[in-house]
Amino acid sequence: MTDWTRGGPTWSINRFVAREVREQMRDNPLARRARYRWPLRLLRGLFSVRSFWRFIALYLFVDLAAVGVEAAWHRLARGTYPAWASGPAANDLLKDVPGFLIGAQVSLVGVISLALALVTLIAQRDDASTDVQVYYHESLFFEITASCLALVAILCMQLLWPLQFALHLISVSSAATLFKLGLLVFHLGWFLLNLAAVAHFVSVTFRFVQRRAREKLRESYTANVVVPDEMTRRLREALYHMAGTEAVLVDDETINPVAFGLEMGHYEAELRSNFERPTRVRDLHVRLAHWAITHWRNRCATKEGAIYGVGPNDSGPKLWFVPRVDRPLQGDVAWCRREGGLPLDWRERLVLRLAFRFEEVRDEE
């Protein structure tokens, strides 16, 4: 039997796989040698947002939080602010620093553009187009570009401080600049983070144009991305099917009444969803699924006249779950199907919907 407790309280397949892969990579001396250093892992974690709009949404959350704190401060402290936060020096900082940051940030975007053009020329000359994907990942190109452009957009927008202006117009004196200065420090920290990321980007670019260094980049990409991704895919697929075979204990001669990732001809649809875009299973919480399946089997067993076979051709009522971890679904799909037995009750349906987590398949995949 599988030790499903490695997947946490709900026996999550993703947590199980992540833990297993992490342990395997930690025990592998070659993988440890090629593993990213902790500063780079930290940098990758900070830029994991990746999308331009996600950076904007994250900053909007920070800005709204600052506005909320300022409103609470004004209500509780009765508008009392430090003298330095409302003086001419503070106003000068709010006027001058954003302009400097915008100019510097635009310069960083220009450096990224020039480096990308250089890499494109090298790739075309050396027929290294297959290495471009390695370069994009190792250099954090998409993440850095999205972060830099998002900061430029935010700095331009915050020249007018729209949310703070609306708050001051309603209840707070416009001379209160304390929380604007706090956001200005946040902008400066974000810029310094982008500066460090661009330094990493330039370093990877210079290494990429050298063939010997490019080989090391391939090794790093293989050890940190390709191998863990392949291990994750295979383990997820294996655990997903094992979750079905271990949902109900049967003897060696009995067909298992539960199957994940298989279809059948004659069935009653129990759970169905309309997937407008290609969608796949993101995670399965095995403990929840096993509870619902066991509860349903027990209800079927107590039904008057229910007969359970013990041979290879009859194992009583069956449940079939169509989704597979590697095959997207689209349209109206009956993803939980039943043959014989009682229909699922509302508790079993609810728990199964909580057990199966779906996600849309991104275009780049």
Count other C-beta atoms under 10 Å from residue 94's C-beta.
17
Note whether 154 and 272 are same-domain residues.
Answer: no
Note whether 202 and 249 are same-domain residues.
Answer: no
pLDDT digits (tens, 9 = 90+) for 295-328: 888 888 887 554 444 344 455 788 888 888 878 8
Find the DSSP H helices in 246-345.
286-302
Find the DSSP H helices in the chain.
13-27, 29-34, 38-46, 52-77, 88-125, 132-139, 141-157, 162-170, 178-208, 211-221, 227-245, 286-302, 346-355
Both structure tokens of 77: 């402290």
Whether residue 45 lies inside any domain: the answer is yes
pLDDT digits (tens, 9 = 90+) for 103-148: 998 888 888 887 777 777 766 665 556 677 888 888 898 899 999 9
Q: Which residues contact 363 (CB under 8 A, 6 or more apart)?
A: none
Note whether 204 and 249 are same-domain residues.
Answer: no
% of the chain with per-residue pLDDT over 70: 85
**What is the number of alpha carbons within 13 Å of residue 338 lying toward its C-beta?**
18
Number of domains the chain is built from: 2
Give CA 249 to chain center in angstroms: 35
Show the domain range for 269.
240-360
Both structure tokens of 252: 């060696």
CA atoms of 238 and 243, how far apart (whole Å):
9
Whether residue 26 lies inside any domain: the answer is no
Whether residue 6 lies inside any domain: the answer is no
Section 263-286 average pLDDT: 86
Whether residue 10 lies inside any domain: the answer is no
Whether residue 51 lies inside any domain: the answer is yes
